[in-house]
Amino acid sequence: MGKSEMFRNGGIIFSIRFIINKSCSMNNPKQEDLQEIKKQKAFFVFLAKTPVRIVLIVLVLLAFILGLTFAVYTKPISSPFVQRIVNILPYPAAFVNGQAIWMSDFIKEYEAITQYFGTLDDSEIPSDEVVKATIMDTLVNKIAVQHLANQYGVVLDESRVDEELASLLSTTTEEEFLAQLEEMFGWNLDEFKDRVLQPLVLAEQMSEFVETSEDLQAGQKEKAEAAYTRIINGEVFSDVATEIYSASGFEGDGDLGLVNTSDIPEEWMEVINAVEVGSVSPVTEFPGGYYLFSVVERTETEDGEQIHLYGLMIPQATLTEAVTHYIDSIKEWRIVGKEQAEE
């Protein structure tokens, strides 16, 4: 046998032995190999079960959150459990044009009011549902005023807040005032400013703005202009006045009777003197509203001139009306404190 043939045969024998050894090692694996196989098997089993586990975990979390949510909105808001939860998780009590009123803030107001009611006789305390509805009305109105202020560029005047506080403190000492706040509402001075004084001052500023705002007064002025047009087109002054007053919940036909000119405000007389008998004055703005006057007759007496006068006043829009109109024009969703609003 030549060397090349021996080498070839030796290679074949080596290959056969290698295959036999590998086969034996697979049929009789070492301990390390067994552990590795077990690890790989466990990993693939975990992967197969992971989606199920994730779903189970998610379902458990959802059930837990739903349980908390159910408790928050069904248990009494005076419950310590509810108060702890809402101080940790931001549960909404309402939404006003996308802005949330949080349950934590609602409960703080509720606690302050109930503490105040604790100083009153039981006969003076309204029902719990009325209390919650009133609190929600107040919080919604605060947000509406703030939104209107933002819309028209009205900024809170902090100096007026300080003036209001100084006025309150002028009648007592600061220590006594703080003691009363704590006893009646459980507030400190900063909480009182934040919850009462600042919203109050901003509302006063907005009231002043509404009175002089052409935009916010446009609707009322248009009503007065429409009434003037109807009268000069032939409708009876008293009929128009009766209709307008009735729509506002008032009685009257605008007949002021015989009036001494000396009893008529001077600013009115400037307009009335220009009105001929049987005619009507143009719409004139005075503090508080838009006025129309009609002179039926003029009479001279010993006491001076008397005028049989008709008058119609369309009141100026108020902040309350502006807030109501704003709330009606936006999306508002109350989760709690909605009973009174629904009535």
Q: How far apart are CA 204 and CA 291, in angstroms?
A: 25
Token output for 199: 């919203």
Q: Provide the H-helix boundaries in the chain.
A: 3-27, 31-74, 80-88, 103-117, 128-152, 158-169, 174-184, 189-192, 198-212, 214-232, 237-247, 266-272, 319-329, 339-342
268 contacts 289 by C-beta, under 8 angstroms: no
321 contacts 289 by C-beta, under 8 angstroms: no
Per-block mean pLDDT, blocks of 10 residues, the chain (343 long): 44 43 49 59 56 70 82 86 88 93 93 88 80 93 96 96 93 91 92 95 96 93 96 95 91 92 91 93 94 93 88 94 94 82 44
Residue 14 confidence (pLDDT)? 41
Residue 343 confidence (pLDDT)? 43
Residue 54 confidence (pLDDT)? 75
Predicted model pTM: 0.74
Residue 83 confidence (pLDDT)? 87
Residue boundaries of the structural domains of the chain: 3-66, 215-317
Residue 128 confidence (pLDDT)? 86
Residue 109 exposed, middle or buried by CB count within 10 Å (0-12, 13-18, 19+): buried
Q: How far apart are CA 258 and CA 152, in angstroms?
A: 44
Residue 15 confidence (pLDDT)? 46
Residue 301 confidence (pLDDT)? 83
